[in-house]
Amino acid sequence: MATEAKKLQPIIIKRIKKAGHVAHGGAWKIAYADFVTAMMAFFLLMWLLGSTSEGDKKGLSDYFQSPLKVAMQGGTGAGASQSVINGGGNDLTQTAGQAKRGDGADAKAKRQSGDQAKAARAKQDAQKLAELSAKISGIISGSPKLAPFSDQIRLAITPDGLQIQIVDDQKRPMFDSGSASVKPYMRDILQLIGEALVDVDNKISLDGHTDQTPYGSGARGYSNWELSADRANATRRELVAAGMPDEKIARVMGLASSILLDEQNPRSPSNRRISITILTREAEERLLGARPTTSAQ
């Protein structure tokens, strides 16, 4: 019976289904791809900002701040050009940004060239004025008529040019008291200075000065201001009579006692003086404006 029961026992077969291979940990690839994409976009943005002109940047800024206004009126960037070429303009090989960079380089080169020309002109002026100062000093010291008055003639190089000051002396006044009438020795000094200035190309400024002694009750308020101006103008006439062209005169001015030579002694005779300044080109331009350049014949 036992053998028969064993024969009748059912046989159970277990079948295990094997699932397909499943990848593990793949989420990091998605995050990495997002990071690479973001970095690529960032560097692309940096490159675009670096290669975009200021005009285009302003146009973009204006558009996002007020898009309707820009759409109706136009912006200031390359898109504002009427040309179908990016950047517009006559040069089809350049965009707006490139043209601006070129213009900036040209302007810088022009500034440097102008500075170099200005420095060369200042050096040339200084050399010419130093030579003129030596020439006038030699004329004064070599003239028997002027040698006794050499202490009244003072030469100095100033920022405005060569300044020749003829100062009064208590015993030897340049003009009659309270008058613009020139003394004979003063006329001799101006005669030689005028002859020395005939060939000088620079413009000349004449200033008359007085001391602080009040002028007497002159007619209709005549004062040291008028007196100093009249004496400066009398000096101009003497220089022109000596042969100096009147066109060389840039300014004739009376300063009364506003600029004292001897501030400790406002009534000192040395404060009564005539200043003849042979101007540098820079000082002349400050006073009269740039002189038009003439082409060489």
Residues with Cβ within 8 Å of residue 245, at least 6 apart in sequence = 198
| Mean pLDDT for back-to-back runs of 10 residues, the chain (297 residues) | 61 67 70 90 86 77 66 51 50 50 61 72 84 87 84 90 91 89 92 90 94 76 91 96 93 94 92 94 84 47
Is the pTM for the entire model greater than 0.75? Answer: no
CB 165 within 8 A of CB 154: yes
Token pair recorded at residue 123: 């050096």
- Which of 67, 70, 58 is closest to 96 using CA atoms? 58
pLDDT of residue 242: 93
Residue 234 CA to residue 222 CA, distance in Å, equals: 17
Token pair recorded at residue 175: 């003009």
pLDDT of residue 219: 62
Sheet strands side by side (includes 161-167): 153-158, 161-167, 273-279, 204-209, 249-254
Please state, as a whole number, how many other Cβ atoms lie within 10 Å of the Cβ of residue 189: 25
Show the domains of the chain with their CATH numbers: 116-288 (3.30.1330.60)
Token pair recorded at residue 162: 């060569």
